[in-house]
Amino acid sequence: MADTTEARGSQDADEGKKATVGRLHLFEISGIKINIDYSWVIIFVLVLWSLSSGYFPRYYPNHSTQLYWIAGLVGTLLFFSSILVHELSHSLTAVRSGIQIPEITLFIFGGVARLSQEPTSASTEFKIAVAGPLSSFALAGIFWAIAGALHGHAQSLIVAVFEYLAWINLALAIFNLVPGYPLDGGRILRAVVWWKTGSISRATRWAADIGKGFAWALMIFGGIQIFAGALIGGLWLLFIGMFLRGVAAAGYQEVMMKQSLGGVRVKEVMIENVVSTSPDLPVDELTDKFFLRYGHGGFPVVEQGRPVGLVSLGDIGNISPEERRTKTVRDVMNTLNAELEIDPNASLVEALKKMTQRGVGRLLVMDRDRMAGMITKTGLLRFLEIKRILEE
């Protein structure tokens, strides 16, 4: 099972136990939301089935089917509780270091603790990364101790459950110590290289490259297993390898993007002379006189000299030609609110994070009540590309 600790912007709070997009919010621990991604159900069922009808009957025979499934259920629940403890160890260490952890999500490949920001020092990165494996080693010791204490005093199947949990936590700790990003070992390596070189970008590149190499090794080994007849195990390794490779590449790109955007303010790259439209303009005229004429993907909507909203191609994409003649911009625009605004002195990192989280392609740059300009995701990416070329 893979374990990753990702740095992302904090998200809006979800109150109570409810379903969000692709996941279910269960409860909170120390202010950290515990979520289950719907993909988690797949691995839960697979682990339960493999323990109840495979592992326990094969190595501990002569028990009833019902008892095997009870043991399998207890083992599966405690296994995923162990993963949660592993992630909580990362998270609580991060919180003690001043980094907020909005949520932990269990999903098909394990668990992920979502950091509100990257650690600001190599020592903080090291402490957060090493906390997870240490907790898994500790759990392995605890489960071994319980199994030893029960040996000779309880049914062999009960002892088997705790022996399995000891082994699986030991395996989880060792697997996550592989020195490839985004695994814990990769983050530990990144912390060491960061401390030695003073460069987080170089440290991330080293750890990500090793992480991608490890991911390729998993995929190749998975392919060999598939051809050897171990279809399920081979596919599992293949999918984990693909996941780790993608996260390693994305993690490096995110760090490099933050490095490139760091210190640059919105006002330095925003569009100043913004073309705006009226809320009373018919949508068909908006299409002809603005989108087709200027070629932009969106425009501010201004009424009596004050911005009141944003309208984009996506807002009119599903409107029929007949409706475009009867509806106005006011009917289809996104009304201006704090989610669509940004301060001119905000960083480009903050602007990109806000656009990504809200699923929008542009933000109005507001200097108090005055529209100072507009910034677009396309413009940010173009800025990054130009900067990359100039720095080569």
How confident is residue 65, by pLDDT bands cut at 50, 70 and 90?
very high
N-term to C-term CA, the chain: 38
**Tokens found for residue 129:** 């990364």
Residue in the block written with tokens 């991911």: 215
Which contacts of 19-28 are long-range, i.e. CB under 8 A and separated by 24 or more positions?
Answer: 23/105, 23/107
In a domain, residue 138? The reply is yes
In a domain, residue 244? The reply is no
Count how many domains the chain has. 2
Please say if the pLDDT value at position 11 is more than 70. no
7 and 128 housed in the same domain:
yes
In a domain, residue 329? The reply is yes
**Consecutive H or E run containing 375:** strand 370-376
166 and 301 housed in the same domain:
no
Cα–Cα distance measured from residue 190 to residue 195, given in angstroms and rounded to the nearest whole number: 8
Q: How far is CA 145 from the centre of its chain?
A: 35
CATH of the domain at 371: 3.10.580.10
Cα–Cα distance measured from residue 51 to residue 79, given in angstroms and rounded to the nearest whole number: 11
Cα–Cα distance measured from residue 236 to residue 228, given in angstroms and rounded to the nearest whole number: 14
Please say if the pLDDT value at position 103 is more than 50. yes
Mean pLDDT of the chain: 84
24 and 170 housed in the same domain:
yes
In a domain, residue 245? The reply is no
Distances (CA, A) of 323 to 276, 290, 301, 302, 315: 22, 18, 19, 22, 13
44 and 170 housed in the same domain:
yes
| Mean pLDDT on 168-172 | 93
Residue range 323-372, pLDDT digits in tens: 888 999 999 998 988 888 999 998 888 888 788 767 788 999 998 888 99
**Tokens found for residue 263:** 């210190």
44 and 156 housed in the same domain:
yes
170 and 62 housed in the same domain:
yes
270 and 164 housed in the same domain:
no
288 and 386 housed in the same domain:
yes
> Which of 177, 203, 230 is the last residue before a domain boundary?
177
In a domain, residue 240? The reply is no
Most confident of 115-119, 134-138, 213-217, 312-316: 134-138
- The confidence score (pLDDT) of residue 89 equals 94
157 and 292 housed in the same domain:
no
Length of the chain: 392
β-pair type (334-335, 103-107): unpaired
- Are 367 and 240 spatial neighbours (Cβ–Cβ below 8 Å)? no
> Which of 142, 177, 212 is the last residue before a domain boundary?
177
β-pair type (2-7, 110-115): parallel
Most confident of 8-12, 262-266, 291-295: 291-295
The contacts of residue 93 (CB under 8 Å, 6+ apart) are: 127, 128, 131
121 and 20 housed in the same domain:
yes
In a domain, residue 184? The reply is no
In a domain, residue 247? The reply is no
> Which of 177, 205, 227 is the last residue before a domain boundary?
177
In a domain, residue 41? The reply is yes
Q: Which residues pair with 362 in a beta bridge?
A: 376
Residue range 178-219, pLDDT digits in tens: 888 878 998 999 999 999 998 887 888 888 888 888 889 989
Cα–Cα distance measured from residue 248 to residue 309, given in angstroms and rounded to the nearest whole number: 38
- The confidence score (pLDDT) of residue 73 equals 95
Please say if the pLDDT value at position 15 is more than 50. no
Range of the domain at 71: 2-177
